[in-house]
Every structure is written in structure tokens, then in C-alpha cells.
């Protein structure tokens, strides 16, 4: 079974700092990677997707992908208390599993005012 691992957390950062969230995956053929945000008691929502090696920036969020190392990360710059949530890394399967998303267990981020 394909696996997606995230740093267990919880991660606590002060307001204005950079939060760094990490994820590794086992399916070497995977080509699509995603970060979902889930507020407590709510459903997950997609915030970033990345398909190519390197960085992808969207506002305060930067996703980084290194397929050779099977590693994905999410950086949140100028962290705000409203960023406090659980962040889920998701990886789309390859080959016959390309219709599936496998999620990591999530990392709880707390941004302290």
C-alpha cells in the first residue's frame, strides 16, 4: 500500500514566522501532489497543488517538490493565527491507482499571536 508520511507535529510558531510542513511519499511514480487545509471540525479544502520539481508560490504559501527524494513541503510565510489548522499532504497514485488520492495523517499547526 502506498504511503504518505508527514511530520507528526504539533507545530507551533509565533505570528509572523515561517511555518514549514513536510511530507514524504512511497509511490515513486506519483506525479501530482497536494496540500489540503482542515480547520477543526470542518472538511478539508485544497490550498495548493504541485506537479513539477521546484517551487510553486501562491500568496503566502509556497509548495516545494523534489521527486528524486520523494519529498514535498509547504511553507507558510508571515504566519497568521487564522492559519492554525491541520495540514494534509495528499498524493495522487500512479498507474492503475491514478484515480486515487492517498492522504497523510496531517500536521497540526498552531500560530500564536
Partner 1 sequence: EAQVTQNPRYLITVTGKKLTVTCSQNMNHEYMSWYRQDPGLGLRQIYYSMNVEVTDKGDVPEGYKVSRKEKRNFPLILESPSPNQTSLYFCASSADRSVVDTQYFGPGTRLTVL
Q: Does 34 bind partner 1 (CB under 8 A)?
A: yes
CB of 38 to partner 1, least distance (A): 9
Binding partner 1 (rule: CB under 8 A), the pick from 54, 68, 96, 99 is 99
Binding partner 1 (rule: CB under 8 A), the pick from 10, 59, 100, 112 is 100
Indicate the burial class of 101 (C-beta count within 10 angstroms; 0-12, 13-18, 19 or more): middle
Nearer to partner 1, 2 or 60 (CB): 2
Phi, psi of 16 (to 5 degrees): 90, -10
Q: Are 77 and 63 in contact (CB under 8 A)?
A: no
How many angstroms separate the CA atoms of 28 and 13, rounded? 32
Binding site for partner 1 (CB under 8 A): 1, 32, 34, 41-46, 49, 88, 90, 92, 98-106
Amino acid at each position: 500500500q502506498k504511503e504518505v508520511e508527514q511530520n507528526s507535529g504539533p507545530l507551533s510558531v509565533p505570528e509572523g514566522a515561517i511555518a514549514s510542513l513536510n511530507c514524504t511519499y512511497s509511490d515513486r511514480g506519483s506525479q501530482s501532489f497536494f496540500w489540503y487545509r482542515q480547520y477543526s471540525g470542518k472538511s478539508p479544502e485544497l490550498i495548493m497543488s504541485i506537479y513539477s520539481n521546484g517551487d510553486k508560490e501562491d500568496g503566502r504559501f509556497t509548495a516545494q517538490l523534489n521527486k528524486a527524494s520523494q519529498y514535498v513541503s509547504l511553507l507558510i510565510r508571515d504566519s497568521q493565527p487564522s492559519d492554525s489548522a491541520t495540514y494534509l499532504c495528499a498524493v495522487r497514485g500512479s498507474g492503475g491507482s491514478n484515480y486515487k488520492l492517498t492522504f497523510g495523517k496531517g500536521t497540526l499547526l498552531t500560530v500564536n499571536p
